[in-house]
Amino acid sequence: MTPIRIPAGPPARVRHLREPRPIHFPVEEEVPERIVHLRLRTFLWQLLEFALGPAHHVGSDQFIYWNACDPKRCLSPDVFVRLGVPQSRAHSWKSWKEGGAPELAIEIVSPNEGDGVAWSEKLARYHELGVVELIRFDPEDPPGARLRAWDRIDEDLVERAVEAERTPCATLGLTWVVAPVGVEPIGLRLANAEGRLLESNEEALKDAKVAAEARVRELEEELRKRGG
């Protein structure tokens, strides 16, 4: 039996009753970003991209749209993950084209910047978008209040209890932890089941270089002793 080929667009040689009225979906917006926010956001994006690989999409600071007729219904998470959809170079994420809503979204809060949308409104939008897990991290909040999380349960977005600044990452089977990120003493990271922090590609390469240099010194010392 010959498989049926489903066309990607409207059939050829059809007549429409009016001209289309294009809807513009912006791909970027000029907003201030402090250096701390940039470091934490970039690190988390690189960490997840390295950990998940090209088979899953990891976006950062991209507009996400879920209403094909209203570009004002949008969000711009600091980092988001859509599992099972290959990494792409799409400038914005239109859920009806790119493979659905992200399962995981992360917001890193930074004072005196951003899009001016209140958190209560953002929370309502994430509920409307359909995320499964939402993480909010504010490095300037007091210890114990910096990390918050929400889960989709029975189609409701419910905040979970977070203790000791650690909480499961239900989407990835890992654990969110508050720990240093590079030169920043406070950041958001992920740990595996053994409690070991996941590394970004840059961190892994740096560790490999340090280990290689240490091994070279050991060999040089062995050769020196033999020669002596």
The more confidently predicted of residues 210 and 86 is 86
The pLDDT tens digits for 134-182 are 999 999 999 999 999 999 999 999 999 999 999 999 999 999 999 999 9
Is the per-residue pLDDT at 44 higher than 90? yes
Domains of the chain, CATH where assigned = 35-197 (3.90.1570)
For the record, the structure tokens of 2 come out as 């010959």
Amino acid at 66: W
Spatial strand order in the sheet of 93-94? 74-75, 64-65, 93-94
User: For the whole model, what pTM was predicted?
Assistant: 0.80
Express as a percent the part of the chain with pLDDT over 70.
82
Give the integer Cα–Cα distance in Å for 174 and 195. Answer: 9
Is the per-residue pLDDT at 106 higher than 60? yes
pLDDT for 1: 55
Is the per-residue pLDDT at 109 higher than 80? yes
pLDDT for 83: 97
* Beta bridge pairs of residue 167: 176
The pLDDT tens digits for 199-211 are 987 876 665 565 5
pLDDT for 32: 59
| Cβ contact 218:71 at 8 Å | no
| Cβ contact 151:169 at 8 Å | no
